[in-house]
Structure formats: C-alpha cells, structure tokens
Chain A
Amino acid sequence: MIFLSSPHQHSGNSIQLTMFSVIIALIPAAMVSVYLYGWLAVFLLTTCIGMSLLTEYVVLRMMKRDTARLWDGSAALTGLFLALVLPAAVPWWIAVFAAVFAILLGKQLYGGLGYNLFNPALAARVVLLISFPLYMTSWLIPMHMGAMLDMYDFSSSLSFFFLGPDAVKQTWDAITMATPLGYVKTELTQGVTVGEALANYQYSTLNAFIGREAGSLGEGSALALLMGGIWLMARHTISWHIPVSYLLTVAVFAGIFNLINPDVYAPPLFHLLAGGLILCAFFMATDPVSSPSSGIGKIVFGVGCGVLTWVIRTYGNYPEGAMFAVILMNCITPLIDYYIRPRVYGYKRGKQA
C-alpha cells in the first residue's frame, strides 16, 4: 500500500453513495409510475435496468475493465432514468434497444463513466423519439382498466408489452390520449386559445402536480419528483444551481409572454408542471458528468436549458423541449467550463491581480 500525499482524512463520500442516493430519490417517482401504469411500468423498469446492467457488464468484460464497476450504481441509474422517460406504451424491443444504446453508445464508447458528453438516458430517449415517433408519442391513458387492456392485470399487460396493441385487440386511439403540452400545441394551430384548449382538455393544475396526466412513466407526478429532488439538494448530492435557475428561467419566460398574450402563450405554472421539465431540472440536467463543474457555470447551464425548453415548446415542432434543451446544453458544457470560471481568491473578475 502506497500512501500518496495529504490529506489523510476523507469525508466518506463515494461514487456509489452518490449514485444510490439518486436512485433512492427516484423511488417515489417510480412508485407513482407503477400506480399509474401498473404492470407495464414494472416491465419497463425491470427491462431497462436489467439491460443496462447487462450491457455494462458485457462492455466491461470486452474492454477488460474491472467488472466490480458494475456495482458503482451508474448503470442501474441510467436504466432507471431511461425507464422514467419512456412512454408506457413502448414494447419490449424498444426498451432493450434504448438500454443498449444508452450504455454502449451513450456512455461506454466515450470512455465510460465520467467521459460521456451527453446524459446517456436522454441521448437514448432523443434517438428513440426520432427513430420510432409512433411509439414515442403514443401516451397510454393512465390507470387504464379496459376490457382488453387492464394495466393492473399481469397477463394482459404482458401480452401488450410483448405483442403490442394488436394482441389485446385494441387500436392505438382507444387506449391513448394526448399530453397537455401536445394537446395545447395542436389546438393552437387550429386557432383555439390556450385557455379554451386547457378547458377542453379538462386540465387541472392539482392533477398535474399530484400526477394524473398522460406522459412518460416518471413525468407524471411533480410532487414525487420534487420530494426526491429536494431531498437530494438537502443532502448536497445535487446543488441548487441548475434546478433553480432552470425552473426560474422557464417561469420567467413563460410569465413574460403569457402577460403579453395569454391566448397564445401558456401560463408559467402550466409550463413548470407539464411534461418532463421537473424530471429534467432535478435529475437529468444535474447529471454531474454532462453538466458544468462550477456553481456559476451551472447557473449559465440552467438558464440555457430554461430558454431552450421554452423556445422549443413554443416554436418547435415537438410539443416537449426539456430533454432536447438538456442535450443541447450538454454539448456546450466544455465551453462553459472553459470560459466561465469562478473568481479565484486574490484576483478581480477577469483575472488581473
């Protein structure tokens, strides 16, 4: 045993501890997803986590790395993230493809943990959205217990998961619905105002907060996500910089434009609770590897995510922009780290002594 230089005392923090804290923080959201989508959520969660771990193991073996790294929790976390950003309607092969893509191309080809440019789960999510738009934009009606597809019935869910809607003799239309974001976007193109669209949708802020709106598995409940996110902030696993600056930016942008024209621009609270914003702000954008290191860099990152999210939601082709925003900001993380540094002790800003 060679002892390098000081310090000779350590806080006891470790990668494992960090990763498992995030996993624990996501348990409420995962539980809500099981409540909303029954066995389908269970299948997706186990497939994504299992395949992530398997891929990680195979790659570690192939690259002759220490397979004990499998238990650092990062692959399991990627699998969990992935499941939470997938719609409940995706069949098994998409889940498998996504998990293999996330670990193999999203993470290991860059050099493994710590070297990936993008958040692996989000990268996989974006690839799926572009490659399989039908599956990725079909949102099952939460808590659906129809005659043919009962999400709380094991065998019915299993055949749906493996064979798709045909197996349960359903058309997509009968079991899916639009997300609030998607609905408002389509209605706006028809000349309907935001207020009318929300009324038609029977949108309720409380529902969106507790989590009964259609969406990806883990996006449902802002409440569950906030519980986990605030717990992570309290124990300093994530810092406040990104979530606060991200959410604040979205709220400010949405607020300003909503004041200008409430018929065209949705209100800030709607934006905050809709889609994957809270999940992205607390869990995706704060992925340490693909976000800036310094506090001030993180704020810039968060503001950038916020602006992009709002812009994509409002003017883009896709109704939801949160994950595109995070992926785009991931690209410029190295630039942020290079140009935006904290002020060093004894220097004025701009580096003169």
Chain B
Amino acid sequence: MFKLFDMLKGLGEQLHLKPQHSFTGGVHPQEMKKTAGLPSMTCPLPKQIILPMKQHIGDACEPMVKVGDYVLRGQQIAKSQGYLSVPVHASTSGTVTKIEDHVIAHPSGLGLPCIFIEPDGKDEADESLYPLPNYRSIDPVELRERVRSAGLAGLGGAAFPTFIKLVLDQQYKIETVVLNGIECEPWLTNDHQLMLEKAHEIVTGMDILMHMVDSNQGIIAIEDNKMDTVDVMQRTLVDMGLDASIRIEVLPTKYPQGGEKQLIQVLTGKEVPAGRLPIHIGILSQNVGTTKAIYDAVCLGEALTERMITVSGDALPQPTNMRVRLGTPVAWLLEQCGLSDADGIKVLHGGPMMGDILTDMRIPVVKASNGILAMRVVTLMLAHHQEDPCIRCGDCGDVCPAGLMPNLLAMHCKEEQFEKAEDYNLFDCIECGACSYVCPSHIPLVHYFRFGKGQVAQIRREKSFAEESRQRSEIRDARIAQELA
C-alpha cells in the first residue's frame, strides 16, 4: 500500500505535477511578458554615460578619476568605501567630463555623486583583469577577490554585493547552490532571454560558484511559464557533463517565488530563520544574470559594465530585451524602442510589483535595473485607485508570503503606533506587494510599511544619538568632579 503511494508520488514528481514544497500565500498577477523569446539587441552607446557612485546595497564609492581623464571600458573609476561595497567601472572608453550630483533611480528622487563620461566611440577595453579560464585550479579566495573587484552586485534587482554571499568560512558549509531563474515579476523577461542566449556562460558561472564554496549540489529553479529555457539549460548541462551534480527544478508559476527566502522554502522546505541569511542553512542563491557576470569576470576577465534589461510597457511601441551599458540614461533607452513623446506616460524602474516610478528620464540604468517599463498613466491609475476603508477581509494575510497580518500592520503604521507595528513583525515584510495587489479597498499597504520602517529607523537613530550624548555628558561631569576633587 505504502509502496504504491510512494510510486504515485514519484510519478507525480517526475511529471512535475506537484512540487514537494510551496511557500505560503502568493498571487498570480497577469504575466504581460510581451518580450518573452524576443532575441536581445545591443543598445547603441549613448552620448553621455552617467555612473552613480552607489549602485548596490551598502556604502557609496569614492571617485578615483579627475575631470578630463581618459578612461577605458572596464577600468575601475571608483573605489569601495567600507566592507559592504563594490567598485564602479567605466562602461565604455571616453573622457570624464564632470563629477557631480545627479538624480538616480531611488523613490526619494534625490541625487547622488555620479561620474559623467563622454564616450569616444572606440569602446577600448582595459585589460588589467586577466582571464582565469582554469578556474577549477584557482584558490577560491582569489576568485572571490575577482568577483569583488569586478564590481559584481546581485543583478536580480536587490543589488546586494555578490562577494559577501560567497562565504568561504568553514563555519558555514554551503551544501546547495541555487540558481534563481524564476523571474516572477510581470513584464520582465531579461533573465528568461539570458538563459536562452547564454546558457553555457550561466552554467559555467554556476560551476565556478560550486567550486568556490566546495559544493557538489546545484539546483536551477525555473518557473513553468519558461519551459523553452528548461530544454536549453538541460541540454547545456548534458553537453558540459554537469547533469549529475546540477539538476533543474520546474516550479508552478506564482509570485513572489523569485524572492530568495520563498525560493529556498519551495526548493528545500526549509525557512531562513529570522534575522539570519541563507548561508546559515547551507544555501547560496544567485540570480542567473549575476551568475553570467561571474563567468565574465572570471573566465573573460571583464568587469561588470553591461547587463540585460527588459524594455517594455504598454506605452512602448517596440518592446525588447536589450544589452545595455551601465550608466545609459533611460531616455536614450526608450528612444531606441521608438518612444519619442513621453506625455501621459510614467516610467517604471524594475517590475510593476516592486519597481519604482522614475522621477526623471535622465536617470541612468544601474546594476539593479532589470526592467524599464513605459506605462500609460491611465493603466497605473487603475492600480492606484483612491483608498477605501479596510473591510478586514484578510485577503492580504492570505497572500502574504511572510505570514504577516498586513491589514493590522498597516493600521498601526498609519496611526504611528510603531511599537505595535514592530510587534506585528514590521521588519519581516519583504515588500513584495502581494497584499496591496489583492486589497479590495486599494489600500497602499506596502507604502505604509515603508513609511513605518523609515520612521522606526529614524527613531532608533535619534535614540542612539541621545544615548551617546548622555554618556558624553556623564563622562564630562565625572571628569569635572574629579578635577574639582
């Protein structure tokens, strides 16, 4: 009897009928992947390249070049300040014209120091990074330094410095390397296309990762709306003789499956404990774009100067997937896709579920830019309907992948009861937007959570400042008392 049950279960798994695990909640937004399967094109060099000094989560870089300097493609032009940081490289050859503040893709619309380069059109490459094609015989420590010095940050959208995830410490043994090819955001197809076009590079990148962390188990996770990539990846694995150590998992499409924590839960059934990282449960996960960039950095000796971007949206005449140099202004990108008139149009940076609305078309694309979507204002107005009162239906909680109670959480944030909000696990929210997506009252829940998180951070800063002042004052009083005595 049990044998029969096991057999049926095995059959189901083979046919990918039912995954072993799932994550709680989730939604199925309209996919809108218009650019799926469109061959990528190369975006022509723009007239000006604008490279922000901070394109990753962490500390900003400091410029190493002066106005008037001639720089080469791949030449490092800014160095890291602090540990959580990666350097910035020139994305083409040309002259540095100015170094000043410029708007960047950030919801605040504030500026940040940027290096402006006027391309000379020759696109000459810097060759200070030499290729390391025999990576299997190279010390992981050296490879890790290469990943850092090539400026790699997560290309899935969060832009977390890649080298930090590559823990070589024996304390945490990484057993499984996960390649995240989920791409659950609607509209976006850049990872999809990259897997179709650069399967060999991606698999090699994965092999580099597995060598670095000394793991012999790899999983490539792909959603079932991209079956064509499954074939391509499987063939590549077989061709490269890696099909024994790396396997492909096809998962039923659901948003936000591409979230690192959710993907790990789906693949392993394990949860990343609160306040910890995937390495603590022996998992390293990387996005396919990042993995391809690791290949470029190691095997070709190329710094991160280019990435795949989906340029799409319902207002764009010719949507496409593009290989774009970092620092290319968004306006230039949209012009290449036939958009000349920006009236009644708003541009999204990233996907519609987690992306930001750009305040300025001169904003350059950065390492985190996975999509640029030109949307009609009327389309966006449907999503940003006027807020009605909460009817406590609980749909938000049903779809929350973190298991929160978004309605109560938002109420506490709105009423500025931040202690209560923290008690309701405000900081465990991953801002995936599933709650706002389903809310019948159109309450911008995620907006309230961001507001709450910002306010709590502010309160904490003020508290620690007050505490420092108090300590200083006490020390001073003690000193004066001592001097008087």
Which residues of chain A have a CB within 8 Å of any CB of chain B?
1, 3-15, 17-18, 72, 74, 112-115, 236, 239, 288-289, 291-295, 298, 337, 341-347, 353
Interface range on chain B (Cβ under 8 Å from partner): 35 or more
* CB-contact partner of B354 in A6, A12, A114, A295, under 8 A: A6
| CB of B236, distance to nearest CB on chain A (Å) | 33
A15 to B389, CA, bound (A): 9
If A6-B352, A8-B357, A14-B440 touch, does A289 touch B392 (CB 8 Å cutoff)?
yes
Stretch at the interface among B169-177, B290-298, B403-411, B456-464: B403-411
Verify A114–B391 contact, CB threshold 8 A. yes
Q: Which residues of chain A have C-beta atoms less than 8 A from B395's C-beta? A: 13, 236
Which residues of chain B have a CB within 8 Å of any CB of chain A?
24, 27, 29-30, 107, 186, 261, 265, 271-276, 346, 348, 350, 352-357, 375, 377, 380-385, 388-395, 397-398, 401-405, 407-408, 424-425, 428, 431, 433, 436-442, 444, 446-447, 450
A-B residue pairs in contact (CB < 8 Å), sample of 7:
A7-B433, A10-B382, A13-B395, A114-B391, A295-B397, A342-B24, A344-B402
If A4-B447, A346-B428 touch, does A9 touch B392 (CB 8 Å cutoff)?
no
Question: Contacts A294-B405, A353-B276 given; 20 further ones with Cβ under 8 A?
Answer: A5-B107, A5-B447, A7-B352, A7-B354, A7-B437, A9-B30, A10-B437, A14-B385, A14-B441, A292-B394, A293-B397, A293-B408, A294-B397, A295-B397, A295-B398, A298-B394, A343-B403, A345-B428, A346-B273, A346-B275
Verify A10–B388 contact, CB threshold 8 A. no
Residue in B closest to A72 when the chains form the complex, CB atoms? B388
Q: Which residues of chain B have C-beta atoms less than 8 A from A291's C-beta? A: 392
* Chain A at the B interface: SS class: loop
A1 to B431, CA, bound (A): 23
Q: Which residues of chain B have C-beta atoms less than 8 A from A6's C-beta? A: 350, 352-356, 431, 433, 436, 446
Verify A15–B441 contact, CB threshold 8 A. yes
Residue in B closest to A343 when the chains form the complex, CB atoms? B403
Verify B408–A337 contact, CB threshold 8 A. yes
Verify A13–B388 contact, CB threshold 8 A. no
If A1-B381, A6-B353, A10-B383 touch, does A345 touch B405 (CB 8 Å cutoff)?
no
Verify B447–A342 contact, CB threshold 8 A. no
If A288-B391, A295-B397, A345-B24 touch, does A9 touch B352 (CB 8 Å cutoff)?
yes
Verify A345–B440 contact, CB threshold 8 A. no
Residue in B closest to A5 when the chains form the complex, CB atoms? B447
* CB-contact partner of B446 in A5, A10, A298, A345, under 8 A: A5
Verify B441–A344 contact, CB threshold 8 A. no
Verify A114–B390 contact, CB threshold 8 A. yes
| CB of B430, distance to nearest CB on chain A (Å) | 8
Q: Which residues of chain B have C-beta atoms less than 8 A from A345's C-beta? A: 24, 261, 265, 271, 274, 401-403, 428
If A3-B357, A295-B397 touch, does A13 touch B439 (CB 8 Å cutoff)?
yes
> Which of B29, B384, B393, B405 has the largest number of chain A CB atoms within 10 A?
B393
Q: Which residues of chain A have C-beta atoms less than 8 A from B380's C-beta? A: 3, 8
Verify A7–B394 contact, CB threshold 8 A. no
A346 to B40, CA, bound (A): 39
Verify A15–B353 contact, CB threshold 8 A. no
Q: Which residues of chain B have C-beta atoms less than 8 A from A17's C-beta? A: 440
